Structure 1
Amino acid sequence: MNRLRRPSGLRVAGPLWRFTSLAIALGVLAPVATLAWLALGADLSHWAHLARHVLPHAALNTAMLLTGVGTVVLVVGTGCAWLVSSCDFPGRRVLHWALLLPLAMPTYIVAFAYLDLLHPIGPVQGAIRWMLGYDSPRQFRLPDLRSMGGAIFVLGSVLYPYVYMTARAMFMTQPAHLMEAARTLGEGRLGAFWRVALPLARPALAVGLSLALLETLNDIGASEFLGIHTLTVSVYTTWITRSDLAGAAQIACAMLLVVVALVLLERHGRRHQRFGSTQRMRAMQPRPLRGAAAWAATATAALPVLIGFVAPAAYLVWETVKRLRTGSGVSQGLIASLGNTLALALGVTLIAVAAGLVVAWASRNHGSVPNRARWQARVATLGYALPGTVLAIGLLTPALAFDARLADWLRLPGLPLMGLGVVLVVACVIRFLAMPVGGIESGLSRIPPALEQASRLLGENAAGTLRRVHLPLLQPAIAASALLVFVDAMKELPATLLLRPANFDTLATWLYAEAARGTYEEGAIAALAIVVAGLLPVVLLARTQFRSAPAAALHDRLP
């Protein structure tokens, strides 16, 4: 293997690449620095008011929501992963990838669907009352979905695949002889799972849980629809409703403490542990189930798919067909929102992939080159851990100041960058930059250094080596990263709500406005379009999930 190592004097990335990578990393840190400056610059009365009236209630709700969602995703994700890994039952081949489908459903869309499905006069409660012989909602009604329990139910049913993906990958690669040894020593199947399989999967569970909790913290639509006043909702209402930017910045700083705690929790859970290779070891084989046990396993594994994807997707299709059959058609406003969504997602994807390529290429250093570029790559991926509301607050002040000077210099009316949506694009690029950086870094790690050395020895410079050698080999990684960024940009709600230009709606903000007004006529059409787009990366994950190392790939998305 020594012949594949790069000579100590060979530098892959030149000064221009490393300088650009540093600029990108500083750009990611800029909103955090601005946020701290805004929070510390406010007078003490703001802090006193927040400490007495806002933060205790919002922080308690956030803690309860994170605890509840974390418990649900751990139990459901780990249980389903172990079931499809260790047992063979009817429908297992379909369910092992169908359990990923809830990833195509943004949390605010599932909340939107279930608010109508579980309404006291909705189809579900109506059918239950019909079967029980009741005529009025006063005689029987389910608990109100607009509650903490309802929010935990909705978010947990959508976010469990993060844990399922990583746990399933670890269970598939665990050597069979460890489980056999535990059984030989007298442990039952449950004991072997609890004492052997689960501890070995702890690093993967920590990664999946952290991602699910970060998505929970970033959520604004589902929490607001369901009446849960979290820290994220507090930032939005403090800024938009009360026009208090300093107070919103202070709440956002409190959210940053939660983000840091979640990242440290993930690091702590994976300390002293590594993902090992078991390529030469016999993998665990699923145990065939028969009779009632087999069908019970099928029903258990199918229930999360039914709740997290099938039921809300069927509702959206039904409402869309009903809307189109009435002859009302699709309004011009919704069509314009679709065009805005595609334009925003395309712009974010192009810039994010280009920036990710620069950062990943600059971090490919060995030998005498210091590790600054690798540190820059880690900083550049911090945006994924920052909720959209925090990014929006941090970007607003420097963007407005720069925009005002640019307008004066160009003698233009208004604020050109805000009006053209440039600030919104920058926020989304920062938010999703971790995906192309992690994906392209993973792709670069699979390219033998000998190819690079041969290109340089033949007289090619760093840029030429990248263009003629690496880019053709990186096409799958770049395409997968671009797809993930494109779809996530289509679904992004918090940053879009706060930074969009005037009279600029995306499908996500259109749906949010429909739900906020209590009108669902065209919200289902917008939601269905987002879900259809979200199916693309899920199909990609389903094809590659169990042929690669998804736990490591997901870890690349964390800072």
Structure 2
Amino acid sequence: MSKTTPISPSTAKVGTPNGQPNAQANGPAGRRNKPGGVLFAAVGWMVALTCLLPMLAVALAALTGGTETIRHLGETVLPGYAGTTLILVLLVALGTGLVGVGAAWLVTMTRFPGVRVMEVAMILPLAFPAYVLAYAYTFVLDHPGIVQTSLRQMTGWGPRDYWFPEIRSVGGAALMLVLVLYPYVYLLARAAFLQQSAGAFLAARALGNTSLQAFWRVSLPMARPALASGVLLAVMETIADFGTVSYFGVQTFATGIYTSWFSLADRAGAAQLALCLLGFALTLAVAERATRGKARYHHAGKHQAKMPPVDLRGARAALAFVLCALPVLLGFALPVIILAQMGMESEQNLFSKRYLGFLQNSVTLAITAAALTVAAAVSLGFYQRLRPGRPSALAGHVSRLGYAVPGGVIAVGLMVPFAAFDNTLDAWMRANFEIRTGLLVTGSIWLLVAAYMVRFLAAALGAYEGGQATVHANMDAAARSLGQSPLGMLRRVHLPILTPSLMTAMLIVFVDVMKELPATLIMRPFNYDTLAVQAYRLASDERLEGAAVPSLVIMLVGLLPVILICRQVGRRS
């Protein structure tokens, strides 16, 4: 009969002194951990390399495509693409910054009638893709729309007797993008202002600064990292936008890529334009990080006094309410009313077999992409937890590059290498076995889902890591001391705790895929259309009433994560 040996506390330790689990722990548990760590490392780097593949493929295709195409583009359309894209970026950055920061300051630092409603309602425009707003406002503000028609009827003017702002312009596209993207800046700015101490602001007031001067010189610089992140998100969405600029006839890099790929069948030109857009996006991200530098802001003292909000009365209160309500009215309430009216006047039947097919395609793609993206985020995030260090950190940084890469660039970057693979395989099979394999990967649903994963993995990683931070390292140590392998620890400890975070991540990716347009247009299988593609096609044919029906469905789906965000904002108010 064997004798049980008591285990001393020193030998029972399975973690490092800072509480992190030790992957090299001795004994059976440590030996079981090693294969799991290798498995997650392999999967994590597989995900990272998949995210890196489109960028490498675009660069290689562009550099090997010859200089004739890029020289011709440089002499013709490239300066126009670059100039228009830059103007659009500047307008959206300025607009989202002004609206988002101004609204965040009003709802956090002042009190006026309706402020509780406004601080939640300001998020609602996030449910709309910009191209849906473009369809709605074109229907109302274009020359045959109700606004100009009523103006001509009231005044008796002819078409050339008056001037009216052109909605189909760079300014119109910038306005649509500002109305749906300012919530990015608003959410981050509101959180930054709520976390600020009143000490610095009151000190500035004591030194003779007005409230506006103290805001400009103290509060705004302290919130700068959050504001820059919000504006950068809006800018990245701007350069990735295709539906709005394409419908308005605004020539940007995104429209140029699509035109080169489909209309001109110029793969080298599309790759070179995609490389230009990729470089533009990465330059913006690096520039924002470089200008931020190592600046840090800390609150001195143990107690952080909150800023007492200022009560507004009379005309000031009314002005604050109007300033907050105007973006909500233009970015959410009015488009919903317009689209509902357009949908009722259309002949589109959402419950017809054809539309149910569009809905089924959209939901199938969104569910599949959400599941794959969250699984990739879990694998990569758990790899970083198991093996913290430079390799895992590098894999995480590479995997996040997708947020800075427009969908059109990812589409071209995946189509080029896999089309070459399919053509090479088909030629080899015909030469050796007289069998035509055709396109096995290119044009498949799985390649499109891979593009979605690359594009939206950063969002899923953010949601997963936010939940993972709540799982204490002692839980890992306890699981390992009980003989759990890394896979068992993930399945039995982490996943049950992180279920809410994982569901949030899946919902975010699901909605983003439902709204995504450029990658879907380029990569979708033949005769496999989604609601976004159907809305774009009808709007391109100037059948705006018909485009309202799929647009409303996309908006309603987009409301799901917005409602979750509104609940969180309401709890913190």
Q: How does the TM-score come out when normalised to structure 1? A: 0.92
Say yes or no: does 1:212 pair with 2:234.
yes
Superposition deviation, residue 139 in structure 1 = 3.8
Report if aligned partners of 2:443, 2:523 keep a CA contact under 8 Å in 1. no
Report how many aligned residue pairs link the two structures.
544
Partner residue of 1:354 out of 357, 370, 375: 375
- Alignment map for 1:503-518 (pairs within 5 Å): 503-518=527-542
SS for the counterpart of 1:14 is: helix
Superposition deviation, residue 55 in structure 1 = 1.1
Matching residue of 2:412: 393
Report if aligned partners of 2:20, 2:477 keep a CA contact under 8 Å in 1. no
Matching residue of 2:205: 183
Matching residue of 1:533: 557
Superposition deviation, residue 30 in structure 1 = 0.9
- Closer, same or farther: CA 410–400 of 1 in aligned 2, 3 Å: farther
Superposition deviation, residue 5 in structure 1 = 4.1
Say yes or no: does 1:4 pair with 2:19.
yes
Report if aligned partners of 1:365, 1:371 keep a CA contact under 8 Å in 2. no
Distance in 2, Cα, partners of 1:95 & 1:491: 25
Matching residue of 2:310: 287
Say yes or no: does 1:334 pair with 2:349.
no
Matching residue of 1:421: 445
Partner residue of 2:511 out of 476, 484, 487: 487
Report if aligned partners of 1:330, 1:522 keep a CA contact under 8 Å in 2. no
Superposition deviation, residue 542 in structure 1 = 1.5
Distance in 1, Cα, partners of 2:462 & 2:188: 16
State the Cα deviation string for residues 21-43 of structure 1 (Å, max 9, x = none). 11111111111111111111112
SS for the counterpart of 1:259 is: helix
Distance in 1, Cα, partners of 2:44 & 2:434: 29
Distance in 2, Cα, partners of 1:430 & 1:112: 28
- Closer, same or farther: CA 414–545 of 1 in aligned 2, 3 Å: farther
Alignment RMSD (CA, Å): 2.4
- Closer, same or farther: CA 123–488 of 1 in aligned 2, 3 Å: same
- Closer, same or farther: CA 362–328 of 1 in aligned 2, 3 Å: closer
Distance in 2, Cα, partners of 1:14 & 1:91: 53
Identity of aligned residues (%): 39
Say yes or no: does 1:67 pair with 2:71.
no
- Closer, same or farther: CA 411–423 of 1 in aligned 2, 3 Å: farther
- Closer, same or farther: CA 100–380 of 1 in aligned 2, 3 Å: same
Superposition deviation, residue 545 in structure 1 = 4.0
State the Cα deviation string for residues 383-424 of structure 1 (Å, max 9, x = none). 111101101111112222334566759967542434542211
Matching residue of 2:395: 376
Q: Which stretch shows the higher mean deviation, 385-394 or 134-143? A: 134-143
SS for the counterpart of 2:441 is: helix
- Alignment map for 1:119-518 (pairs within 5 Å): 119-128=142-151, 133-134=155-156, 136-274=158-296, 280-323=303-346, 331-365=352-386, 370-404=389-423, 408=429, 414-518=438-542
Superposition deviation, residue 93 in structure 1 = 0.6
State the Cα deviation string for residues 182-208 of structure 1 (Å, max 9, x = none). 111111110110011000010001100
Distance in 2, Cα, partners of 1:539 & 1:327: 28
Q: Which stretch shows the higher mean deviation, 444-453 or 523-532? A: 444-453
- Closer, same or farther: CA 238–329 of 1 in aligned 2, 3 Å: closer
Report if aligned partners of 1:35, 1:393 keep a CA contact under 8 Å in 2. yes
Distance in 1, Cα, partners of 2:566 & 2:435: 52
Report if aligned partners of 2:362, 2:514 keep a CA contact under 8 Å in 1. yes
Superposition deviation, residue 270 in structure 1 = 2.8
Matching residue of 2:46: 23
Q: Which amino acid aligns with 1:390?
A: V
Superposition deviation, residue 444 in structure 1 = 1.3
Matching residue of 2:12: none
Report if aligned partners of 2:349, 2:355 keep a CA contact under 8 Å in 1. no
Q: Which amino acid aligns with 2:376?
A: A
Report if aligned partners of 1:334, 1:510 keep a CA contact under 8 Å in 2. no
* Runs (5+) with no aligned partner, structure 2: 1-15
Say yes or no: does 1:34 pair with 2:39.
no
Superposition deviation, residue 268 in structure 1 = 2.2
State the Cα deviation string for residues 95-124 of structure 1 (Å, max 9, x = none). 101111111110111111111111123123
Distance in 2, Cα, partners of 1:531 & 1:394: 29
SS for the counterpart of 1:433 is: helix
Report if aligned partners of 2:23, 2:386 keep a CA contact under 8 Å in 1. no
SS for the counterpart of 1:255 is: helix
State the Cα deviation string for residues 326-373 of structure 1 (Å, max 9, x = none). 79675433221111101110110111111111000001146xx63201
Q: How does the TM-score come out when normalised to structure 2? A: 0.90
